[in-house]
A = this chain, B = another copy of it.
Amino acid sequence: MAARSFLGDMLTTLFERRQTATNFGDNRSLSDMCRSLLDAEGEISGLKLAQAILDRYARLTPDETLEFFLFLNNALEVDMAALNDAIVEYGLTQSMAGYAKISALSESPRQELLRRLNQPPGATQALVNMRRDLLEALEGTPELARSDLDFQHLLRSWFNRGFLVLQPINWESPASILEKIVEYEAVHAISDWDDLRRRLYPQDRRCFAYFHPSMPDEPLIFVEVALTKSVPSSIQRLLSEERKHRDAQDTKVAVFYSISNCQKGLRGISFGNLLIKQVVAELQQELPGLETFVTLSPIPKLNTWLADQSDIKGVEPLIQGTADQITVKAAATHYLLSAKNTHGAPFDPVARFHLGNGAQIFAVHGAADLSENGLRQSGGAMVNYQYDLDVIEQNHEKFVQSGEVCISPAFQAAQQKSRPKRAAAKTRPKSRASH
């Protein structure tokens, strides 16, 4: 009809079907139902059966859930002996039929089961939640990791970059989406709708999320952006209720001050790298005056790491309120440039993420996050990572190949000037080998 978006309609259908999903009585055990779905019956009434299985699953007790996962893990496992035979046979025949047999046998039946479950409306979300449950069960039952490989494999196909949709989140967005932004914000909690409005409504604030067309009610990941005149050095000032709003056209800097993953069931299927880069591209197009793209990031493991260095003379965690901010900044700088984990990668997980994306350190600040949490984790220090599209690939290359922590020219210059005063230099550990 003329009155409807052709594409909007597509998803309407998707959405409305969800409403009519009906219950479906079935007296069989859950595992029998799963086997049926894998058999001929699945061909003809797959949708109803899949719905029934997902409904049944949703009502399982924790014990029954574990039992179900063990069924998936053990009963629907690859037949290694048969696979082995097929490979040997193919070595002799090199026949297409032999190859197809290997191909079929090397995939576990549970993967096909998951694919067939993904038929009714809402199934994709249900399977993402099933994996969330699996990840929990995995902690006590590590062998379930075999099943998790199949989940990962499928989710990686289903949530392929080409299927994700970038969507601005603003004060015109549906309340049902906005309440999820409040719920999922993981970095700087949103206290209420007034706080949310301060983050979404002003001209100089933006938010973007990735969605999947089959889960239109659920953001996958979102980033909050502040548009500013200069690179910020304090999260409290950036989010202050009293701050003056700026005309977006007059701003020079886009600050990614919070990135939150929303779906526990999609752990390991990474979207953050893509999201930041696509948002940089979108903002550049809309606001050609933007010159600098940085984060204002926490340094969550600074104090943890310092605590571990306490055998080194003069090093101790930056206790809230007591550390002077010059010391804090110096310690944070040293930590970001030098502290490594046992794999030789940056010790700090946020640093690993942004440096791995090809970002570079732009500036380190003391007294930047004076919240309780900020003081506890890093004595108030924060860091700007810069996304400079011109050097992002070579930064990434250097980081991957030699573990080099890239820094911006300005930061390098500032470092050299301040070197004589750098107290934190003393905290440098004697040898890298110990990390």
Chain A positions within 8 Å of B, measured between CB atoms, are 1-17, 20, 40-41, 43-47, 78, 80, 83-84, 87-88, 90-91, 96, 99-100, 102-103, 106-107, 115, 118-121, 123-124, 142-143, 145-146, 149, 153-154, 156-158, 160-163, 165-168, 170-179, 192-193, 197, 200, 211, 213-214, 216-217, 273-274, 277, 285, 357-358, 392-393, 396-397, 400-401
Contacts and interface: CB of A to CB of B under 8 A. Distances in A.
A187 B16 CA distance: 31
Given A99-B149, A146-B96, A400-B40, A15 B10 contact: no
Contacts of A153: 103, 107
Contacts of A16: 1, 3
A117 B193 CA distance: 37
Nearest to A160: B118
The 10 lowest CB-CB distance pairs between A and B, nearest first, are: A5-B5, A8-B8, A7-B11, A106-B106, A3-B15, A213-B213, A10-B165, A119-B161, A3-B172, A5-B8
A1 B6 CA distance: 8
B145 A7 contact: no
A156 to B, nearest CB: 7
Contacts of A161: 46-47, 118-119
A87 B401 CA distance: 31
Contact of A44 (B163, B167, B173, B392): B392
Nearest to A17: B166
Contacts of A106: 83, 102, 106-107
Contacts of A121: 162
Nearest to A19: B1
